[in-house]
Chain A
């Protein structure tokens, strides 16, 4: 496969070249279409999940903010807003916990000569691999026995454990390109290890830490199985509400919620991409 088609290409080569691109285009369409389609649908004035004739005619009558108003409690139902605020409490707490512990451990694991490094890494990444239903069933049994089941703290603890692998992966990746002679230079000039960490190492690995934190945040913000089993009525998060809504009577408010979540993920993706490009540029790996 060539990047550009040479002028002497045969018909067969041309068919192959364009066919390949059309196929890839269709796959890209398949990837992005379901995510983007919810955005126009969420402005539907009717309670339908498809485009109404008015919408197709681009008639303003066909569009409204009805579903967004319902999300904000215009119909007297504040459960969505309540769920949203629960999510906004749980996710940052879980992120804080996994980022602080995870960064510390990633620094430890990046030292030369760590005993059992492979085993420790395998253990720390396993929450990402073990199916969520198993993790949450186990957490239900164990947290019940220590009276954490059905508490906010229990859910935060569980979500923090799920976020750990992402922090470990991103921070160790950033640390692998960290020049350790910088910390030695700082120590040489009389800085103690804590000062060295905050003044030298932390600013340089910060992009990795933030990316890891965003991954941990989205993991908690998007998690539903653990909340179903470990949480109780007091910890209904946004995904919980969506899951219940989708399983039972599917309400069009979900379209508005989905759109809000898509916007949030676009914002997070942009942040992570900018951070990645910045650190690549600093390391001279990318043309910018």
Chain B
């Protein structure tokens, strides 16, 4: 027994020090875990993260069509560098000449209309100016022109509009802040950046409406989901499993099916209005294409996301706590408010955050049942994107929304933990 004590570190079977050997095993384990995760990480990076990144880039890139504005108007940009629009004077003769030169190249490459549209996002009227000037400017012979300013003003007197030149100067870099200004309802004037008139601040209004309606929907799901989750947690397992199907079936049913069901039910000639008339009322209710329709339909669609987290928290609260409170003399209200309710707050937090996060980004339901005053910011993004083609503004609005959602996601992770998300 005496020779078991040896000097030096403890050794593993292969003779290396145990500490080193364990560290190596741990490292190998870590590498293996990362190797297993790597294919998916690369996949998500390419198919999801890089698209998001390219949207972020879009919101600041100063492009017309596929090219950067300063690459289309290199001479104009150089000439305007010295010019100061606040003096109230038009740019120099050289700048007008540079415009004719650059415009002719742009016309050749069929970029002048895209360029006009790009500036038009910021200053209305520029699109038609660029489009109308196209052919006439392209016919000019640069070498023969002595007075470029007069020549351009002759084509269209709008070339003398100081605001137009100020817009070109403000957007002469590779990157621009103009989409974010537009997204926050600000505009660039000759005197500098200013907020638009209060009645023209459509994006602020839409963002506030999105937040307000999402909050209202979250409140509604909580108000009607809480009692249901409580009942489910309180009933014997067999009964509650059966009733749970009523919660899970909507969860599994196609979002479009649920939205179209509401669209059909709520419309003027729909089932609900027919019942209303059959009950003896004379006026049909307008339940669709307004905020009421959105709240009714979205509360229904998001309700399972509230009930499920509430249920899983309530399930862990022993019913004996309430009985103990009551046997100690608490009234029903006190027992609920001071014993039961505080224990359900993690579930309320989880459910409310999840519902709110999902509601803020909703698109399909507001688009189909929202009408004019029930649309969300997502609908406006889609409209900018597909109908107006202002991708930069769509990207800027999207980035703002993304920031809000990621902030909420961070809070959710801190409070609930994302690995605690449960499905069904």
Contacts and interface: CB of A to CB of B under 8 A. Distances in A.
- Whether both chains belong to one complex is answered with yes
Interface string B214-248: 00000000001101101100111100000101111
A239 to B, nearest CB: 5
A184 interface: no
Contact of A215 (B248, B364, B423): B423
Given A23-B227, A130-B361, A172-B419, A164 B44 contact: yes
B253 interface: yes
A275 to B, nearest CB: 10
A18 interface: no
A127 B45 CA distance: 11
B55 interface: yes
Given A102-B40, A138-B53, A225 B33 contact: no
A129 to B, nearest CB: 5
B305 to A, nearest CB: 11
Nearest to B56: A138
A6 B391 CA distance: 65
Interface in B1-58: 26, 29-30, 32-37, 39-41, 43-44, 47-55, 57-58
B255 A222 contact: yes
A121 B338 CA distance: 36
A105 B248 contact: no
A34 interface: yes
Interface residues of A, number: 97
Interface in A133-183: 133-135, 137-143, 145, 157-158, 160-161, 164, 166, 169-170, 172-173
B51 A105 contact: no
A32 B303 CA distance: 11
A34 B37 contact: no
Contacts of A140: 51, 385
A255 to B, nearest CB: 7
A15 interface: no
A261 B253 contact: yes
Interface stretch (B95-103, B135-143, B341-349, B398-406): B398-406
A158 B395 CA distance: 18
Given A34-B258, A121-B418, A246-B259, A1 B245 contact: no
Contacts of A78: none
B261 A24 contact: no
A32, A170, A268 interface centre (most CB from chain B within 10 Å): A32
Contacts of B187: none
Interface in B363-419: 363-364, 367-368, 378, 381-382, 385-386, 391, 394-395, 398, 401-402, 405-406, 409, 413, 418-419
A261 B363 CA distance: 20
B156 interface: no
Given A131-B401, A246-B259, A265-B253, A145 B361 contact: no
Interface string B71-99: 00000000000000000000000000000
B39 A101 contact: yes
B261 A258 contact: yes
A118 B37 CA distance: 13
A218 B252 contact: yes
B190 to A, nearest CB: 33
Contacts of B422: 169, 173
A174 to B, nearest CB: 12
Given A3-B234, A242-B256, A261-B253, A50 B274 contact: yes
Nearest to B39: A101
Contact of A105 (B39, B274, B423): B39
A269 interface: yes
B256 A24 contact: no
Interface stretch (B158-166, B170-178, B191-199, B263-271): B263-271
A266 B385 CA distance: 36
B261 A37 contact: yes
B26 A28 contact: no
A114 B33 CA distance: 6
Contacts of A135: 48, 51-52
Contacts of A246: 256, 259-260, 263, 368
B364 A225 contact: yes
B398 A134 contact: yes
A31 B398 contact: no
B204 interface: no
A34 B44 contact: no
Nearest to B253: A265
Contacts of A258: 254, 256-257, 260-261
B52, B252, B363 interface centre (most CB from chain A within 10 Å): B252
A250 B423 CA distance: 33
Nearest to A258: B257
Nearest to B391: A141
Contacts of B303: 27, 31
Contact of B249 (A35, A107, A250): A35
Interface in A1-27: 1, 3, 16, 20-21, 23-24, 27
B401 A273 contact: no
B93 to A, nearest CB: 40
Contacts of B413: 118, 122
Given A133-B378, A141-B51, A261-B254, A115 B34 contact: yes
B357 interface: yes
Nearest to A38: B261
B256 A120 contact: no
A124 interface: yes
B43 to A, nearest CB: 5
A141 B54 contact: yes
Contacts of A34: 258, 261-262, 265, 300
B360 interface: yes
A124 B362 CA distance: 21
B144 to A, nearest CB: 42
Contact of B58 (A16, A109, A141, A273): A141
27 contacts: A16-B332, A21-B231, A27-B224, A31-B303, A34-B265, A35-B253, A35-B261, A37-B264, A37-B265, A38-B261, A101-B43, A105-B36, A109-B36, A111-B33, A118-B413, A130-B405, A133-B398, A134-B52, A137-B391, A137-B398, A139-B51, A161-B44, A169-B422, A211-B424, A243-B364, A258-B260, A261-B254
Shortest beta-carbon contacts, A-B, top 3: A131-B361, A108-B36, A138-B51
